[in-house]
Amino acid sequence: MGLIENRFSGKERPALFYYGWVVVFVSLLCHMFIFAVPTLMLPQIYGPIIDQTGWGRSEVVLISSAKFASGAVTAFFTGQFIQRFGTRVTTFIAALITGLAMISFLFITEIWHLIAIGALLGVGSLSLVINIKVLVSRWFQGRLGLALGLALLGTAGVGPSLTFVLEPLINEYGWRMSVAFLSGGIWFIALPIFLFFARENPQDMGLKTEGISDAQNASIKELPQYFSDFGATVKKNTFIAMSIGVFLIGFVDQGLLQHTVEFLDKDAGLGRDMARYGFSLLMTISLAGKIGFGWLFDRLAIKGVIICYISIGLGVLLAFPVGGLETLIAFCVARGISHGGTIVDVPYLCRQAFGPAILARTIGTMTMVLSAGFALGPYVIGIIYDQTGSYDNAFYLCIILALIAAASLYWVKPEYKNWLENHKSPTVNGS
C-alpha cells in the first residue's frame, strides 16, 4: 500500500487508498463530457439534420468521418505533445477545442460546415482520449485493464441517458442549439475537476505504479534499450500486426455505431423511439463490456483482445434478424458488450507490448491508426447504403473484417509483460 507523509509529524503513514483510483474517476468525467457526448450525439442528430436539410446519409456522416480523420492526424502528434507538456495542459486544450466546436453547431448551414466542425471535434476529443489512456497507463500495470475500463466508461455512462436529454432539447430548441447546450458539461464539470485533482505520475506523490513490485521497479531502471526505441518499435511485426487489427476493428465498430439509430429506425422498421431506446440499451450494456473485457484482458492478455474482436463480428451478425423487440435486445446486448472492449484495447496492447518508456508515442500512433478506421468505416458504409439501398453488403463486409482483425493479433507479442514476468517478485499494489 502506498505511503503518504503526515505533514504534522513528518512521519509516513499508510495511505487509505491508492490515489490512482482518483485519477481514474476524474478521467472518467473528462471522457464522458469531452469525448462521449460529442461522439454519441452524432448518430442521434443525423435524422433531424436529414429531415431539415435533405442531405443524404453518406453526406451527414461526413461530420463523423471528418472527426475521426482529423483525430487520426492529431493522434500522431498528441503523444509527443503529452510527453513534452503533460496531461493537464493537453486536457485544457482538448476541452477548449471540443467545447467551442460544439457551440459552433449554431452556425451550420452547409455541408462543409459539418466537415469543418467535425474536424475540430476530432482534434479535441481524440486528443483527450489519448491523454486519458496515457495517464491511466502511467498509474497502473497489474490492474491496467480494469482501470482503463473504468476510466473509459464515459460512452457507457452517457449513452443510456443522452437520448432522453437530447431528444426533448431537439424538439424544443432544434439540433443546433441542443448541441451547444451540451457543451456545458465540459465548462462546468469535467475541466475544473480534472485540473484540480489529476496528477501526472504516481512518482509526483511518492508512489509507484500499481502492480509493480519493489524488485520490478528497480529493474525498470535497467529496462532494455529496445523498449525506448520508437523507431525500431514501429518496424516490428508486433506493431504492424497490431496496426492491422486496430484499424480494421475501428472501421467495423464505429462504422456500425454511427449508422445504428438510422438502421433501427428506418431499415429495421422499428421507428425513431424504439431506435433511440435500443441505442440507449446498447450503450448501457457497453458499460459491462468495458469492465468485463478490461478484467478479461488482465487475465488472458492478447487472447482476451482476440475474443473481443470476434465478438464484434458476432454483434454485426445479429443485426440481420432485427425486426422486433426480442431480436433488438439480442443485437443490443451483443453489440454493447463487444463495443465496450474496443475502447480499452489500444492502451492495453501498447502497455503490455511496448512498455511505459515510449507509452505516449505508441498509444498516440496506434490511436491514429484506430481513428483512421473510425473515419473510413461510417463513410464507406454510408456509400454502400446509398448505392444499394440496404446495409446487408456493408454488414457482410464488417463481419469479414472483424475476423481478419482478430486473426492479426496472433502475431502480437506482449514483450513488456513477458519481461516483467521474468523479473517477478511479490507485488505491492500501489506502492
Predicted local distance difference test score (pLDDT) of residue 193: 97
The model's confidence at residue 181, banded by pLDDT at 50, 70 and 90, is very high
What is residue 13's three-state secondary structure?
Answer: strand
What is residue 390's three-state secondary structure?
Answer: coil
Q: Which residue has the cell 471540443?
A: 98
Grid coordinates of 41: 450525439
Q: What's this model's pTM, rounded to 2 decimal places?
A: 0.77
With helix as H, strand as E and coil as C, how does 230-260 read? Answer: HHHHCCCHHHHHHHHHHHHHHHHHHHHHHHH
Grid coordinates of 120: 475540430
Predicted local distance difference test score (pLDDT) of residue 13: 41
The rounded mean pLDDT for the chain is 88
CA pair distance 341, 330, nearest whole angstrom = 18
Residues whose CB is less than 8 angstroms from the CB of residue 170 and which lie 6 or more positions away in sequence, other chains included: 45, 48, 178
Evaluate if residue 156 carries a pLDDT over 90. no
Residues whose CB is less than 8 angstroms from the CB of residue 100 and which lie 6 or more positions away in sequence, other chains included: 120
E strand segments, 376-424: none
CA pair distance 334, 253, nearest whole angstrom = 12
The model's confidence at residue 58, banded by pLDDT at 50, 70 and 90, is confident
Grid coordinates of 259: 449508422
CA pair distance 253, 279, nearest whole angstrom = 14
Superfamily for 19-421? MFS general substrate transporter like domains (1.20.1250.20)
Domain spans of the chain, in order of start:
19-421
Contact (CB, 8 A) for 161 and 40: no
Give 112: exposed, middle or buried? Use CB within 10 Å, 0-12, 13-18, 19+: exposed
User: In angstroms, what is the C-alpha Rg of the chain?
Assistant: 21
Residues whose CB is less than 8 angstroms from the CB of residue 30 and which lie 6 or more positions away in sequence, other chains included: 91, 95, 128, 131, 132, 154, 190, 191, 194
Contact (CB, 8 A) for 57 and 262: yes
- Angle (CA) 403 407 413, round 5°: 145
Find the mean pLDDT for residues 183-200.
Answer: 96
- The dihedrals phi and psi of 14, each to the nearest 5 degrees, come to -65, 140
Contact (CB, 8 A) for 348 and 227: no
Residue 275's nearest CA partner among 286, 264, 259 is 264
Q: Which residue has the cell 499494489?
A: 429
Evaluate if residue 417 carries a pLDDT over 90. no
Say how many C-beta atoms besides its own lie within 10 A of residue 244's C-beta: 18
Grid coordinates of 23: 485519477
Q: Out of 87-91, 186-190, 366-370, which region has the weakest mean confidence (pLDDT)?
A: 366-370
Q: Out of 44-58, 207-221, 338-352, which region has the weakest mean confidence (pLDDT)?
A: 207-221
Evaluate if residue 4 carries a pLDDT over 60. no
Evaluate if residue 9 carries a pLDDT over 60. no
Give 417: exposed, middle or buried? Use CB within 10 Å, 0-12, 13-18, 19+: middle
Element (H, E) at 39: helix 37-53
The model's confidence at residue 220, banded by pLDDT at 50, 70 and 90, is low
Residues whose CB is less than 8 angstroms from the CB of residue 407 and which lie 6 or more positions away in sequence, other chains included: none
Q: 326-345: b or e for each residue (b if 16 or more CB lie within 10 Å)?
A: ebbeebbbbbbbbbbbbbbb
Find the mean pLDDT for residues 311-325.
Answer: 94
- The dihedrals phi and psi of 412, each to the nearest 5 degrees, come to -95, 125
Question: Could you give the dihedral angle defined by the CA atoms of residues 79, 81, 86 and 87, in that order, rounded to the nearest 10 degrees?
Answer: -60
Q: Which residue has the cell 487509505?
A: 16
Q: Convert the pLDDT of each residue in 261-298 to its tens digit.
A: 889 999 999 998 899 899 889 988 888 888 899 899 98
Find the mean pLDDT for residues 147-166.
Answer: 84
Side chain identity at residue 248, one-letter code: L
Predicted local distance difference test score (pLDDT) of residue 253: 94
Give 89: exposed, middle or buried? Use CB within 10 Å, 0-12, 13-18, 19+: middle
CA pair distance 282, 295, nearest whole angstrom = 20
